[in-house]
Amino acid sequence: MADDNIANAAADESKKNADFAANQAKAGADRAANAAKSGTDALRDGAQKAQGAFQERVVEPAKRAGEAMRESGQKLAEGGSTIGTRMIDQAEQNAREAFAAMREAAQAKDISQVMKIQGDYLREQGTRSMAQAREIGDLIMQFGRDAVAPLRGGGNG
Protein backbone atom coordinates (compact mmCIF):
# COMPACT_ATOMS: atom_id res chain seq x y z
CA MET A 1 0.00 0.00 0.00
CA ALA A 2 2.74 2.38 0.76
CA ASP A 3 4.14 1.71 -2.66
CA ASP A 4 0.74 2.46 -4.14
CA ASN A 5 0.61 5.74 -2.26
CA ILE A 6 4.08 6.66 -3.48
CA ALA A 7 3.15 5.67 -7.02
CA ASN A 8 -0.09 7.69 -6.79
CA ALA A 9 1.77 10.66 -5.35
CA ALA A 10 4.38 10.40 -8.11
CA ALA A 11 1.65 10.09 -10.72
CA ASP A 12 -0.14 13.13 -9.24
CA GLU A 13 3.13 15.07 -9.21
CA SER A 14 3.86 14.03 -12.82
CA LYS A 15 0.35 15.02 -13.83
CA LYS A 16 0.75 18.35 -12.03
CA ASN A 17 4.09 18.91 -13.77
CA ALA A 18 2.62 17.91 -17.14
CA ASP A 19 -0.36 20.25 -16.60
CA PHE A 20 1.98 23.04 -15.58
CA ALA A 21 4.18 22.46 -18.65
CA ALA A 22 1.11 22.29 -20.88
CA ASN A 23 -0.21 25.52 -19.38
CA GLN A 24 3.20 27.18 -19.85
CA ALA A 25 3.39 25.92 -23.44
CA LYS A 26 -0.15 27.16 -24.11
CA ALA A 27 0.64 30.55 -22.57
CA GLY A 28 3.81 30.77 -24.68
CA ALA A 29 1.90 29.79 -27.82
CA ASP A 30 -0.78 32.37 -26.99
CA ARG A 31 1.88 35.06 -26.50
CA ALA A 32 3.53 34.08 -29.80
CA ALA A 33 0.15 34.10 -31.60
CA ASN A 34 -0.70 37.50 -30.11
CA ALA A 35 2.71 38.86 -31.11
CA ALA A 36 2.27 37.48 -34.64
CA LYS A 37 -1.22 38.99 -34.83
CA SER A 38 0.08 42.34 -33.57
CA GLY A 39 2.89 42.24 -36.13
CA THR A 40 0.47 41.33 -38.90
CA ASP A 41 -1.91 44.09 -37.82
CA ALA A 42 0.95 46.60 -37.77
CA LEU A 43 2.05 45.50 -41.26
CA ARG A 44 -1.51 45.75 -42.57
CA ASP A 45 -1.93 49.22 -41.04
CA GLY A 46 1.40 50.29 -42.52
CA ALA A 47 0.41 48.95 -45.92
CA GLN A 48 -2.94 50.78 -45.75
CA LYS A 49 -1.19 54.02 -44.79
CA ALA A 50 1.32 53.56 -47.62
CA GLN A 51 -1.50 52.87 -50.07
CA GLY A 52 -3.37 55.98 -48.88
CA ALA A 53 -0.23 58.10 -49.17
CA PHE A 54 0.49 56.71 -52.65
CA GLN A 55 -3.09 57.44 -53.70
CA GLU A 56 -2.89 60.98 -52.30
CA ARG A 57 0.61 61.87 -53.49
CA VAL A 58 0.88 60.02 -56.80
CA VAL A 59 -2.42 58.77 -58.20
CA GLU A 60 -4.60 61.82 -57.52
CA PRO A 61 -2.05 64.37 -58.81
CA ALA A 62 -1.53 62.22 -61.91
CA LYS A 63 -5.29 62.12 -62.50
CA ARG A 64 -5.54 65.89 -62.09
CA ALA A 65 -2.60 66.42 -64.46
CA GLY A 66 -4.20 64.15 -67.06
CA GLU A 67 -7.50 65.98 -66.80
CA ALA A 68 -5.73 69.35 -67.10
CA MET A 69 -3.83 68.15 -70.19
CA ARG A 70 -7.03 66.87 -71.78
CA GLU A 71 -8.79 70.18 -71.09
CA SER A 72 -5.79 72.09 -72.41
CA GLY A 73 -5.79 70.00 -75.60
CA GLN A 74 -9.50 70.67 -76.08
CA LYS A 75 -8.94 74.40 -75.70
CA LEU A 76 -6.07 74.30 -78.21
CA ALA A 77 -8.25 72.45 -80.73
CA GLU A 78 -11.10 74.90 -80.23
CA GLY A 79 -8.70 77.81 -80.56
CA GLY A 80 -7.17 76.44 -83.73
CA SER A 81 -10.60 76.00 -85.25
CA THR A 82 -11.66 79.52 -84.29
CA ILE A 83 -8.44 81.04 -85.65
CA GLY A 84 -8.76 79.08 -88.90
CA THR A 85 -12.37 80.19 -89.35
CA ARG A 86 -11.47 83.81 -88.62
CA MET A 87 -8.62 83.71 -91.15
CA ILE A 88 -11.02 82.37 -93.81
CA ASP A 89 -13.44 85.21 -92.97
CA GLN A 90 -10.61 87.71 -93.38
CA ALA A 91 -9.55 86.18 -96.72
CA GLU A 92 -13.16 86.46 -97.95
CA GLN A 93 -13.30 90.10 -96.89
CA ASN A 94 -9.97 90.83 -98.64
CA ALA A 95 -11.17 89.10 -101.84
CA ARG A 96 -14.43 91.11 -101.82
CA GLU A 97 -12.47 94.33 -101.35
CA ALA A 98 -10.07 93.40 -104.18
CA PHE A 99 -12.91 92.60 -106.59
CA ALA A 100 -14.70 95.82 -105.65
CA ALA A 101 -11.52 97.80 -106.42
CA MET A 102 -11.07 95.93 -109.74
CA ARG A 103 -14.69 96.72 -110.75
CA GLU A 104 -14.18 100.35 -109.86
CA ALA A 105 -10.91 100.48 -111.81
CA ALA A 106 -12.61 98.82 -114.81
CA GLN A 107 -15.14 101.67 -114.86
CA ALA A 108 -12.49 104.40 -114.54
CA LYS A 109 -12.42 107.08 -117.26
CA ASP A 110 -8.66 107.56 -117.37
CA ILE A 111 -5.36 106.28 -115.97
CA SER A 112 -5.26 108.89 -113.16
CA GLN A 113 -8.56 107.53 -111.82
CA VAL A 114 -7.17 103.96 -111.99
CA MET A 115 -4.04 105.08 -110.09
CA LYS A 116 -6.18 106.78 -107.43
CA ILE A 117 -8.39 103.66 -107.02
CA GLN A 118 -5.31 101.45 -106.82
CA GLY A 119 -3.65 103.77 -104.25
CA ASP A 120 -6.79 103.93 -102.13
CA TYR A 121 -7.14 100.13 -102.28
CA LEU A 122 -3.50 99.55 -101.27
CA ARG A 123 -3.78 102.02 -98.37
CA GLU A 124 -7.03 100.43 -97.12
CA GLN A 125 -5.64 96.93 -97.60
CA GLY A 126 -2.52 97.83 -95.61
CA THR A 127 -4.66 99.16 -92.75
CA ARG A 128 -6.97 96.14 -93.00
CA SER A 129 -4.01 93.72 -93.01
CA MET A 130 -2.55 95.31 -89.87
CA ALA A 131 -5.91 95.10 -88.08
CA GLN A 132 -6.39 91.48 -89.20
CA ALA A 133 -2.88 90.50 -88.09
CA ARG A 134 -3.47 92.17 -84.71
CA GLU A 135 -6.81 90.35 -84.36
CA ILE A 136 -5.26 86.94 -85.15
CA GLY A 137 -2.33 87.66 -82.80
CA ASP A 138 -4.75 88.57 -80.00
CA LEU A 139 -6.76 85.38 -80.64
CA ILE A 140 -3.60 83.26 -80.56
CA MET A 141 -2.48 84.85 -77.29
CA GLN A 142 -5.91 84.41 -75.71
CA PHE A 143 -6.16 80.78 -76.78
CA GLY A 144 -2.63 80.20 -75.48
CA ARG A 145 -3.59 81.62 -72.09
CA ASP A 146 -6.81 79.59 -72.06
CA ALA A 147 -4.94 76.41 -72.99
CA VAL A 148 -2.28 76.88 -70.31
CA ALA A 149 -4.75 77.84 -67.56
CA PRO A 150 -5.81 74.22 -66.80
CA LEU A 151 -2.16 73.18 -66.52
CA ARG A 152 -1.55 75.96 -64.01
CA GLY A 153 -4.58 74.97 -61.98
CA GLY A 154 -6.65 77.95 -63.13
CA GLY A 155 -9.15 76.08 -65.28
CA ASN A 156 -12.54 75.16 -63.90
CA GLY A 157 -13.96 73.67 -67.08
Reference 132, options 95, 78, 105, 77; nearest CA is: 95
Q: Tens digits of per-residue pLDDT, 98-157? A: 999 999 999 999 999 999 999 999 999 999 999 999 999 999 888 888 878 777 765 444
Give Cα separations from 118 to 9, 105, 125, 129, 132 (angstroms): 136, 8, 10, 16, 20
Helices 111-148 & 60-106, crossing angle to 10 degrees? 170
- Alpha-carbon gap, residue 114 to 98, rounded angstroms: 13
pTM (whole model) above 0.75: no
* Identity of the amino acid at 85: T
